[in-house]
Amino acid sequence: MSSPPFLAPRDDLRALEGYHSPQVDVAVRLNTNESPYPPPPAFLDEWIAALRDVRYHRYPDRAARQLRTALGARLAQPPQRIFCANGSNEVLQTLLLTYGGQGRAAAMFEPTYALHAHISRITGTSVVEGERGSDFVVDPDAAAALIARERPAVTFLCSPNNPTGTVEPRATVEALVDRVAGQGGLLVVDEAYGEFADWSAVELVDESRPLAVVRTYSKVWSMAAVRLGFCVAPEWMVAELEKVVLPYHLSAPTQLAGTLALAHNDEMDDRVARLRSERERVAAALAAVERVTPYPSGANFVLFRFDGDGHELWEALLARGVLVRDFSRWPRLAECLRVTIGTPEENDAFLAALCEVVTEVQG
């Protein structure tokens, strides 16, 4: 029996695949770069108490004034330079709906966060792929040449880069923003893991640069389930994004969560410090494992290459109750796996399982 001729999706979406990151139920889940710690209990108490006072029969504050003011204070930026949305993915989508689209291109440096290309295509923006070097660092001259040749409307730079952990130096970001400015483009620095790195492009944001720095509550702030992200960008850019995003897209509970969480800065900074020191411990331990080579990371995860069949290694870890992210069949990431930094106990469980299985999996 053939199915009735239902309407097919847009022609340019036919070849698109969905976002795949298997959510398997195992003891040690180190595959999606979330925080291993739940939010601070005091924050949850304050949030739940505040939820009682929301006027639910009214729309939320469209301008998210309290949240943007609190974020501005934390980041030493005026609230007018902050745009909030339901996860940084919605920020990326809004940037592309505003500045991408038919007849325009977005450039990115592979291997990088798959959603940059995916959301570009969904918004009808064509994709231009630049290449990272063998150490996964972006070569500023090659990047400048690509931008000069392709003239992308939007250029993405993910730093620290997912999935490699690579942090770009300030000089590269400055050079790229000057380059895109020279030809009417826009630079988007995705700093989903910015808190784990040694410097942030937020300090470069001002009215004279076409630069947006995107951040999220999903990782450091232990709030992946809340769905809240934002970007810091010039006021003129934020004003355009506000025109494009759906009105009242950010619910009152979300706005409250984002505002109240910022009062727990000290606890969050403490978690960042703990995860950074665990990252260094895990990276050093990985470097000591035979046939395993970790890459330097400024994020809350470590990418490593296996001298053998990476997918078999991933399966062997899973069989021992440890889920990491399998990049072994990705272009440019052959035999690579990525492990999220968890609690010290989770990291120990991962390292113990890895030491056991590396000898079993053939080269």
Minimum CB separation of residue 127 from ligand PLP in Å reads 16
**Toward ligand PLP, which CB reaches closer, 31 or 328?**
31
Is the CB of residue 260 less than 8 Å from the CB of residue 46?
yes
Per rule CB under 6 A, is residue 190 in the interface with ligand PLP?
yes
**Toward ligand PLP, which CB reaches closer, 36 or 229?**
229
| Contact window for ligand PLP (CB under 6 A) among 7-15, 22-30, 74-82, 87-95 | 87-95
CA distance 355 to 33: 22
What part of residues 215-244 is at the interface with ligand PLP (CB under 6 A)? 216, 218, 224, 229
Per rule CB under 6 A, is residue 162 in the interface with ligand PLP?
yes
Taking only Cα atoms into account, the Rg of the chain, rounded to an integer number of angstroms, comes to 21
Which of 31, 35, 77, 89: binder of ligand PLP (CB under 6 A)?
89
Per rule CB under 6 A, is residue 159 in the interface with ligand PLP?
no
- Collapsing DSSP states into helix, strand and coil, what is residue 239? helix
Which of 60, 87, 111, 234: binder of ligand PLP (CB under 6 A)?
87
Which of 119, 192, 197, 262: binder of ligand PLP (CB under 6 A)?
192
Is the CB of residue 249 less than 8 Å from the CB of residue 90?
yes
Q: Which residues share a beta bridge with 275?
A: none
| Contact window for ligand PLP (CB under 6 A) among 82-90, 238-246, 313-321, 322-330 | 82-90
CA distance 286 to 292: 6
Is the CB of residue 244 less than 8 Å from the CB of residue 56?
no
Per rule CB under 6 A, is residue 94 in the interface with ligand PLP?
no
Minimum CB separation of residue 224 from ligand PLP in Å reads 6
**Burial (0-12, 13-18, 19+ Cβ within 10 Å), 250:** buried
Q: Which residues contact 196 (CB under 8 A, 6 or more apart)?
A: 160, 220, 272, 275, 276, 279, 298, 299, 300
CA distance 15 to 4: 21
Minimum CB separation of residue 312 from ligand PLP in Å reads 26
Q: Whose CA is closest to 176, among 228, 239, 107, 240?
A: 107
Which of 88, 94, 159, 166: binder of ligand PLP (CB under 6 A)?
88
Minimum CB separation of residue 159 from ligand PLP in Å reads 9
Query: How many chain residues bind ligand PLP (CB under 6 A)?
Result: 13
Residues that bind ligand PLP in the complex, under the rule CB under 6 A:
33, 87-89, 113, 158, 162, 190, 192, 216, 218, 224, 229
